[in-house]
Structure formats: structure tokens, C-alpha cells
């Protein structure tokens, strides 16, 4: 029997210990939330002060006024009422009457001032968050930027952080007011009746705690749904933009896609609604508990006044202090809950802005050796793999590859899909760094070349060409963005690439805006866009040009013109390219056959046809389609 009692006692102690640990964990969590709220408010206040010092001063003055007004009202109205009860004239209470008048005037003027300040906060927060995000992203290499978890964080910042930062800044005055009023009123009530003050504080604590938990639950829903919200905006674009919509329409899938999209919206929002419905009765119960203690305290004040322990002016003042203490604690609870949610988004924004790219450039780097023939390129035992996310193995694509390209050579990369051609070219243009090994440009390690020099020396024409809301001349000059636009060079590049034939037919010619879904714009075809991209490449004058399947989306005749232009218009430049158009490959000075991230063989066309079975199969499989 004693053995059973001992086991029960051990289990009881273990259960008690578990409960203690649970409450300690909750207290630590609440402490960390409180710290987060304070730090977020301080950080945002500092930023706002740095950018808008004048408005910050006005906010500080307003914050002081909103704290002073309630006490000024209670003090002045109490004395005026007491004087009137004793039949005194207003002149006997001129300072009290003046205080009441000033309080009323300030109460009437403050809403307009606060409204203007709030508008200025909105404008600043929108500009700050958008600018800081869009100026940060260009510093990130594609590997870092394509990480799904980072994409989720960016989506949260893009979707919610702007408005949360606005709300946090606008709520600072109210938050400061609530805390200051509750402290001042609490001190006054404590001096009147300490037990009464502590009772009210204890009664309002559950509301303050639960509002914070409620805000935290809302944030966790946002966090869980970040991936969905990214899909939401992508699917929304597919419905509202003409190109992807037309693709759905030709298959008769547009209504199905839109219906599924509408259902998904309702499902996502339902989770937020569910939290509100589930929490409402608990939040109401917390408020009722808190206000019950306030009612009890008000009854105690009335009883003291009825027994002659308080004069009328004192009663009015302490009743006002009681009301302020209770309402301020309630406002602290509600505002702190909101501030917790907002501070979590501020933290997300700060984490995004503090993110480091995997690729770093020196401020003043070394200059690669560029000759009249071009620039050399060396890859020495290069390895690279794409990160697969937390806890997953890295997928290695380039596996100990070594290669030398002499200045002025035209080198073709060939291989089946997945051989590593696109990844290797991305390493060559330093969109990301190899995990091991070294890339040298003109005899200089590429890591030691600064960003400006590298982008002037190396230019790239990717497989998928994008066009932006730019003028034709701006698009062609993208390869020298930030420099003064050279109109003569733009026309030279357009002529050499063949783009001038259709550009000069546009109404605005080189000043014509590109686009499809906007007024007064022109939408170039796939082949025309390729020629514009080639013009941009020629405009750059880069010593090393890297091209990735540049003719994949255009017809054979346009492709032949493209390659004729490339081989004839790039003397003195090193060119590395990959293409399934083997007619261009045959013209290369050297062909490099890639297989599973390694160099399988290299040489000229006829040499490889004799000795490299993989190359021979690639060439013959395409040549077979042209034989009768």
C-alpha cells in the first residue's frame, strides 16, 4: 500500500513539475513578446525620427497632450462643479474654468492634428517598406532569392508588413497614452486605496494576456499561409493578365481555374474567421472579469463620498482617475495585442533587410586582363549544388569541372537536358559562386572583381527573355543601366541585331514603350524580342558574352539570322553559348560536351563526330529531321 502511495506521490510531483514548467514557459514567452514589442517600437520610432524629425516632434507633443487632457478635465471640472454647488461665481474659479476651456479646445483640435500625422505616417511607411524591400532584393543571388522559406518571408513583408508598420507607428501615441495614463492614474488610486488599485490590476490582467495570445495566433496563421498567399497572387495574375488568361481560355479551363481560385480564397479567410469566433467568448469573459473589479471600485468611491470622506472635487477627480485607470488598462491590453502582431511583422522585415547574399563583391576589385581579342576564362575543379532547404541534402549539379577558354574563342556547350549547361553559365556570369573550386576571368579570380567591372566585362543573354515597361532605347541600353544613354550606339546595336527593321516602323521608334496591357505600347513578337535582347548584348560591348538557348523560341530563319549576326558582329569578344540549333554549334571554334556536370569531351565538330558517341547521337538525332 505504501508502495502505491509512493508511486502516486511521485506522479503528482511530476504532474506538478510539468505544470510549473508549462507556466514558466508561458511567462518566458510573454516576456519575449513584451521585449519584441518594445524593441519594434523603439526601432520604428528611430527610423521615423531619422526620416521625419518635424513630424516626430509633433507626435511627441500630441502624446504629452493626450495624457494631460483627461487629468486637466477631471481636476478643472471637479472644482468648477464644487464651486457651483457652493454658489460661487465663475470668477472665483477662473484658473479651473480656464483649464476646462483649454482642455475642450485641445480635444476639438487634436483629431485633425492626429489625422494629418497619421496620413504622413502612412505615406512614409509605404515608401520605406517598399523601397527597403525592392532595393534589398537586387543584392541577393538567385540561389538565396529562390529559397521557398525566403519567398514566404518576402510575401509576408509584401502583403502585410507595410500596413503593420503603419499601424504600429500610428498606435504608438495611443499605446504611450494608455501606458502613461494607467501608470499615473494607478499611482493616484494606490495612494487613495492600494488594495483597490491592485484588485483592478489583477482583474484586467487576464484580458491583457489573452489579447496578446490572440494576436500571436493570428500571426501564426499568416505564417502558415504565407506559401498560399504567394500562390494567391500568382493565380490572381494568371486570371487578370491577358497572356496566361488566353492560354486557359483556349482549353476551356478559364472558368474552372477562376472557380477554384474563388473557393481557395474563401477557405483561407475561413481560418481567420474561425479564430475570431472561437476567441470571442473568452475575450468577453476576460473583459467582464476586469470591469467587475472596476464596478466594485466605483462603488467603494461612492461609499466613501457618501460617508463624507471625500469632497465633491476629490470624488470627481478620483472617479475620473478610476475610469482612466480601467479604460487605460483595457486599451493597453487591446493595443499590446495588436502591437505584438505588428512587431512580429516588423521583425520579419528586419530579418529580410539583414539577410546576407551568398555572393559578395569587393568595393574596389582587381581588373581582369582584357585584350583586343577578348578575355580568357578558366574554371578549375568547380563544384556547385543547389540548396534543397533545411534538413535536405544539397543536389550537386557541377561536379569538379575544369575548362580553359582562350580570349576571342567562340565556344559551344552541348549536352542533354540536365547536363548542367545553364547552371554552369550561371556560375560563369557569377549569378552565384561555386561551392568549391575557382573561376578566373582574364587571369583574375572572379571573386576579386568588383560588381561594376564584372558586369561591364561579362554580359549574358538568358534563355527566357523578359521585357519590362521601358522604352525600346532603354531596353537596349539595359546592359549599361545607370550610364548616360548613347542614342547612336542604340541605333548601331539595333541595326546589327536586325531589330531596327521593326523598331523604326513603330510610331515612336526608339522612344516607343514596350508592353501589351497598357495604352500606347507595342508588344514585340518572340523573334523580335530576341533581336532586341541581342541588340542589348551588342550595346554592352562586353569582352565575354554568355548565351543560354537564345533562339529556342524563334523560327529557323530568324535563328539563322541571329547566329549570323552573332558570329559576324562580335570580333574581339569571347563568346560562350548553348543551343539545340546544332547549325550554330558547328561554327564554334570549340565544342564542349557536358554530361552530368562534367566535361565529357571537347573539340571541333568533325573531331567529336568521330570520337564522341554522345555528341554524334545528339547531332544525328536532329539531322535526321532534315533528311528526305
Which range (12-16, 167-171, 433-437, 451-455) has the least confidence?
Answer: 12-16
Domain ranges of the chain: 51-353, 373-626
Percent of the chain past pLDDT 90, that is, above it, reads 0
- Alpha carbon distance 177, 174 (integer Å): 5
Q: Which residues pair with 513 in a beta bridge?
A: 471, 521
CB 315 within 8 A of CB 299: no
Place of cell 519594434: 40
Find the distance separating the first CA and the last CA of the chain, reported in whole Å: 99
Joined together, the cell numbers standing for residue 360 give: 559578395
**Contact 400/431 with Cβ under 8 angstroms?**
no
Q: What does the block give as the cell for 443?
A: 587571369
Range 349-357 average pLDDT: 74
Mean pLDDT of 84-94: 59
Q: What was the pLDDT predicted at 144?
A: 67
**What's the mean pLDDT when you consider all of the chain?**
75
Residues with Cβ within 8 Å of residue 506, at least 6 apart in sequence: 472, 512, 522
For residue 492 the three cell numbers come to 548601331
Closest by alpha carbon to 468, among 513, 508, 525, 500? 513
Lookup: cell for 484: 548616360
pLDDT digits (tens, 9 = 90+) for 488-538: 888 888 888 778 888 888 888 888 887 766 677 778 777 778 888 888 888
Residue 628: is its pLDDT beyond 60? no
Q: Name the architecture of domain 51-353.
A: Up-down Bundle (1.20)
DSSP letters for 472-530: HHHHHGGGGTTSPP-HHHHHHHHHHHTTHHHHTTSSSGGGPEE-SSSTTEE---HHHHH
pLDDT of residue 622: 66
Phi and psi at residue 372, in whole multiples of 5°? Answer: -65, -20
Q: Which helix (H) or strand (E) holds 399?
A: strand 395-405
471: which DSSP letter?
B
Q: At what angle do helices 242-250 and 226-240 cross, to 10 degrees?
A: 80
Sign of the Cα pseudo-torsion (42, 45, 47, 50, in order): negative
The predicted pLDDT at position 393 comes to 47
276-305: pLDDT as tens digits: 777 778 777 887 887 787 777 777 777 777
Identify the H or E element spanning 162. Answer: helix 162-192
Whole-number Cα distances in Å, 421 to 270, 432, 436, 592, 594: 46, 14, 18, 10, 7
Q: Tell me, what's the pLDDT at 391?
A: 41
| CATH number, span 373-626 | 3.40.50.300
Q: pLDDT at position 93, please?
A: 58
Amino acid at each position: 500500500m505504501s508502495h502505491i502511495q509512493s508511486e502516486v506521490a511521485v506522479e503528482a510531483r511530476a504532474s506538478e513539475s510539468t505544470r510549473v514548467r508549462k507556466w514558466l514557459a508561458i511567462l518566458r514567452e510573454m516576456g519575449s513578446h513584451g521585449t519584441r514589442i518594445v524593441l519594434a517600437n523603439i526601432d520604428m520610432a528611430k527610423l521615423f525620427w531619422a526620416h521625419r524629425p518635424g513630424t516626430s516632434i509633433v507626435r511627441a507633443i500630441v502624446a504629452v497632450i493626450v495624457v494631460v487632457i483627461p487629468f486637466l478635465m477631471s481636476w478643472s471640472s471637479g472644482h468648477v462643479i464644487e464651486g457651483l454647488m457652493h454658489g460661487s461665481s465663475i470668477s472665483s474659479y477662473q484658473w479651473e474654468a480656464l483649464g476646462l476651456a483649454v482642455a475642450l479646445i485641445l480635444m476639438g483640435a487634436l483629431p485633425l492634428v492626429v489625422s494629418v500625422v497619421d496620413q504622413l505616417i502612412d505615406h512614409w511607411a509605404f515608401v520605406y517598406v517598399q523601397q527597403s524591400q525592392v532595393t534589398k532584393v537586387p543584392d541577393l543571388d538567385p540561389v538565396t532569392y529562390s529559397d521557398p522559406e525566403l519567398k514566404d518571408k518576402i510575401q509576408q513583408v509584401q502583403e502585410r508588413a507595410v500596413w503593420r508598420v503603419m499601424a504600429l507607428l500610428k498606435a504608438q501615441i495611443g499605446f504611450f497614452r494608455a501606458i502613461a495614463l494607467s501608470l499615473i492614474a494607478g499611482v493616484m488610486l494606490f495612494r487613495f486605496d492600494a488594495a483597490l488599485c491592485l484588485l483592478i490590476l489583477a482583474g484586467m490582467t487576464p484580458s491583457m494576456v489573452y489579447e496578446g495570445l490572440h494576436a500571436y495566433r493570428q500571426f501564426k496563421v499568416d505564417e502558415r499561409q504565407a506559401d498560399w498567399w504567394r500562390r494567391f497572387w500568382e493565380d490572381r495574375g494568371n486570371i487578370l493578365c491577358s497572356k496566361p488568361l488566353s492560354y486557359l481560355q483556349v482549353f476551356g479551363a478559364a472558368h474552372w481555374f477562376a472557380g477554384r481560385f474563388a473557393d481557395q480564397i474563401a477557405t483561407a479567410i475561413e481560418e481567420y474567421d474561425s479564430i475570431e469566433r472561437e476567441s470571442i467568448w473568452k475575450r468577453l469573459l476576460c473583459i467582464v472579469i476586469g470591469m467587475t473589479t472596476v464596478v466594485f471600485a466605483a462603488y467603494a468611491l461612492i461609499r466613501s463620498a457618501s460617508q463624507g470622506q471625500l469632497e465633491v472635487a476629490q470624488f470627481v477627480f478620483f472617479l475620473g482617475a478610476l475610469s482612466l485607470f480601467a479604460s487605460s488598462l483595457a486599451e493597453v491590453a487591446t493595443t499590446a495585442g495588436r502591437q505584438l502582431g505588428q512587431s512580429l511583422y516588423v521583425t520579419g522585415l528586419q530579418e529580410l533587410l539583414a539577410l546576407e547574399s551568398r555572393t559578395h563583391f569587393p568595393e574596389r576589385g582587381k581588373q581582369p586582363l582584357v585584350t583586343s581579342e577578348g578575355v580568357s576564362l578558366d574554371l578549375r575543379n568547380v563544384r556547385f549544388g543547389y540548396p534543397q532547404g533545411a534538413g535536405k541534402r544539397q543536389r550537386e549539379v557541377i561536379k569538379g569541372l575544369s575548362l580553359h577558354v582562350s580570349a576571342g574563342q567562340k565556344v559551344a556547350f552541348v549536352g542533354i537536358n540536365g547536363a548542367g549547361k545553364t547552371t554552369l553559365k550561371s556560375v560563369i556570369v557569377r549569378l552565384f559562386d561555386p561551392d568549391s573550386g575557382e573561376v578566373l576571368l582574364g587571369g583574375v579570380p572572379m571573386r576579386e572583381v568588383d560588381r561594376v567591372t564584372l558586369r561591364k566585362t561579362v554580359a549574358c543573354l538568358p534563355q527566357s527573355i523578359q521585357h519590362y515597361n521601358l522604352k525600346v532605347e532603354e531596353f537596349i541600353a539595359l546592359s549599361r543601366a545607370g550610364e548616360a544613354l548613347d542614342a547612336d550606339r542604340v541605333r548601331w546595336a539595333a541595326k546589327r541585331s536586325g531589330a531596327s527593321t521593326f523598331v523604326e516602323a513603330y510610331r515612336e521608334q526608339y522612344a516607343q514603350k514596350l508592353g501589351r496591357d497598357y495604352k500606347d505600347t507595342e508588344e514585340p513578337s518572340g523573334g523580335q524580342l530576341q533581336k532586341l535582347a541581342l541588340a542589348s548584348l551588342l550595346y554592352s560591348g562586353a569582352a565575354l558574352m554568355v548565351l543560354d538557348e537564345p533562339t529556342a523560341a524563334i523560327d529557323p530563319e530568324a535563328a539563322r539570322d541571329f547566329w549570323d549576326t552573332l558570329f559576324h558582329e562580335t570580333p574581339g569578344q569571347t563568346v560562350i553559348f548553348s543551343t539545340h540549333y546544332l547549325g550554330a554549334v558547328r561554327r564554334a571554334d570549340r565544342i564542349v560536351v557536358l554530361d552530368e556536370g562534367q566535361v565529357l569531351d571537347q573539340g571541333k565538330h568533325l573531331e567529336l563526330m568521330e570520337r564522341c558517341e554522345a555528341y554524334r547521337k545528339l547531332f544525328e538525332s536532329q539531322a535526321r529531321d532534315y533528311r528526305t
